[in-house]
Chains A and B, each alone.
Chain A
């Protein structure tokens, strides 16, 4: 057993993720994010950082599957939307009220449960597909659910969606408060991030990485690769569900546009420009995306600012196929090579 995990871990190290750095760097980042709202205007706190964290959570669910399982799923935004819609359908005060009257304390776990179940379902449907076929089947599921929700009036109120989902009160403060929203999103993101880092070290996570590297060998070793895959989609669904809940409260409601093709592609863009390789890439990508999405219209012709956004994303991916994380990793290697006395660390 230990030999096997050792072998996979070496594989992980060879991918360039040095675990010794990860914990202190993550804690330092968390500390910065905790104090940052004190020095930046509230707009940046809620609508740049907060929004980036929410999108980052959804993108991380995709990064988790892609990095550790090798499954690129385009269904994650849709899965997030399932959680959002579940809560919107249930909670009191929503317009129109479809079920209504279920308190947030019950509706939120139900939303997460629904997203996890949808994640498992997507995983089960896509279990036999790889690569481009997996991409296609998850995309088809995402678009299918989107169109279903858009045309279903009785449960999802069609194109207009469900409005006035104000979110729960936290410690007696309304969720609409900038700081309540921001710190809730930050804590949720930090816990989920830690969860991903933990999960990939468990035997389950290592088996998942084994599936990524060589399915047949993992099967031969006696693991049920298909079940592992489906479970991984379930975990990703749970993560995406949190993102969907926060996005719904942030937008004071949810409409099909939130989970449409555009949104699905946005999540992919975030994950790719941030870098598939480590879950933090999702948040970096989301931050870059949100900054440009918000300010591109100020920087460039208002009729054509989407061109600027596209050009920047193209540039990032051209310069570094593994996203911003790849740039950082390469810079780090360059800096390490300078002091020639130090021996090379990891064999590649």
Chain B
């Protein structure tokens, strides 16, 4: 009997302590001296694990440089990991918001996750989601959510200039496009095809699901007439494709998607590296870019992470998460850490931000809270025994519709495997 009483008391005590802890966390969320809680959500599992880790690296570096403070308040970070599946990202986001009580989420990394979190953000009041690195255009273009912000350019924007370059400068008539069968590659293919086909090019599309390991049937279907191969895969998929293409003796000139020509690919060992030298790609970053801001960013990244698993140069995901963290800190400084009033002032500050990202490109948001920024054309070159992407051209202030009037762009329909943006105008 005594024992039972004790256990009951213990339970009551534990419940009391639990209740105190939860209310204790909630009450001072509006007080100025309490820490701001930020949830980081990236993929530490699955095909984009290396990109997710690099995202965390870059955000951690920026926070450390700011002494884990913004707007006069300390910042506490809760890290969560998903595996690039929408339902897992959603479960983790729910945990961050509802259990860990974070004020904002920086994430996620991949396309379908981004759309799921955009939908979730609509059910929240007084919370903000700042996109990490997901690049599906529909996340902000169609049906945007008022508390979902994206400071990185999307997959379609990243291809600005590439289609024209391949058709006009390289003078290629026909390409084969191999791409992943999901939102992000759809966006990239759309951006590429829009320019390439308008300039009179023809394209064959070969799709394969995310996580495919055997690409032999795709490689066998690349038409002989193709003058170049456009590869829009990323992560372990990109590596698997390129390795198998190299082993199959492939030798077409290569054009890369934005997460293809990236350090997460170039740092991996294997036969693909020989083929990838000379590959032309487009995207928001490059390894070698002659800008003091970028050189400084790379130097800081190397100093902080070179002995702890960092890449030779920050990856595109690292850069995107860094930009999201930059925006969060800038807006927090602007409102002096004031998240009261359902974060209205903070979200207004986010919408009005104008800053330079780590590439030294200006960033501001459009009416859908989507970034407008610069896009670079890159070529992979050997630099000091290491393959690296080097910028050689720049498209300034690319918006989400690639300069096409928004109504006209929307009328083209959402990017998909059946809507590649390849519409000839001749």
Least CB distance from B242 to A in Å reads: 21
- In the bound assembly, the distance between CA atoms of A306 and B82 in angstroms comes to 11
Report, as a range, how many residues of chain A touch the other chain: 35 or more
Does B397 count as interface, using CB distance less than 8 angstroms?
A: no
- Check if B90 is an interface residue, CB within 8 A of chain A: yes
Give the residue among B53, B86, B181 with the most A Cβ atoms within 10 A: B86
Residue of A nearest to B418 (CB): A153
A151 interfacial contact with B, CB 8 Å: yes
Cβ-defined contact, A257 with B88, below 8 A:
yes
* Contact indicator B115/A163 (Cβ below 8 Å): yes
Picked from B22, B119, B210, B417, the residue with its CB within 8 Å of the CB of A164 is: B119
A133 at the interface (CB under 8 A from B): no
Contacts of B94 in A (CB 8 A): 43, 46-47
Residue B183 at the chain A interface, CB threshold 8 Å: yes
B407-421 vs A: 1/0 string, CB under 8 Å?
Answer: 000000000111000
- Whole-angstrom distance between the Cβ of A269 and the nearest chain B Cβ: 16
With a CB–CB cut-off of 8 A, which chain A residues contact B116? 163, 252-253
* Cross-chain contact A43 with B85 (CB below 8 angstroms): no
Query: Count of chain B residues with Cβ under 8 Å from any Cβ of A?
Result: 36
* Contact stretch, chosen from A23-31, A70-78, A134-142, A154-162: A154-162
B123 at the interface (CB under 8 A from A): yes
Known: A43-B99, A160-B112, A161-B86. A297 touches B80 (CB 8 A): yes
Tell me, in angstroms, the Cα distance from A297 to B85 when the chains sit together: 17
Q: A101 interface residue, CB < 8 Å from B? A: no
User: In the complex, which residues of chain A have a beta carbon less than 8 angstroms from the beta carbon of B215?
Assistant: none
CB neighbours (8 Å) of A297 from chain B are 79-81
Q: Does A9 contact B (CB under 8 A)?
A: no
Give the distance in Å from the alpha carbon of A31 to the alpha carbon of B209 in the complex.
Answer: 46
CB distance B88 to A294 under 8 Å?
no
Among candidates A153, A255, A257, A258, residue contacting B416 with C-beta atoms closer than 8 Å: A153
Name the B residues within 8 Å of A159 (CB-CB): 112, 180-183, 209-210
Give every chain B residue within 8 A of A262 (Cβ-Cβ): 83
Taken together as a complex, chains A and B put the C-alpha atoms of A137 and B86 apart, in Å, by 28
Quick one: which of B82-119 are within 8 Å of A by CB? 83, 85-88, 90-91, 94-95, 98-99, 111-112, 115-116, 119
* Mask: chain A, 272-313; 1 = CB below 8 Å from B; 0 = not: 000000000000000000000010010000110110000000
List residues of A whose CB falls within 8 A of some B CB.
Answer: 39, 41-44, 46-47, 51, 95, 147, 150-151, 153, 158-161, 163-164, 176, 251-255, 257-258, 260, 262, 294, 297, 302-303, 305-306
The 4 closest A-B pairs by CB, nearest first: A257-B85, A159-B182, A43-B98, A43-B99
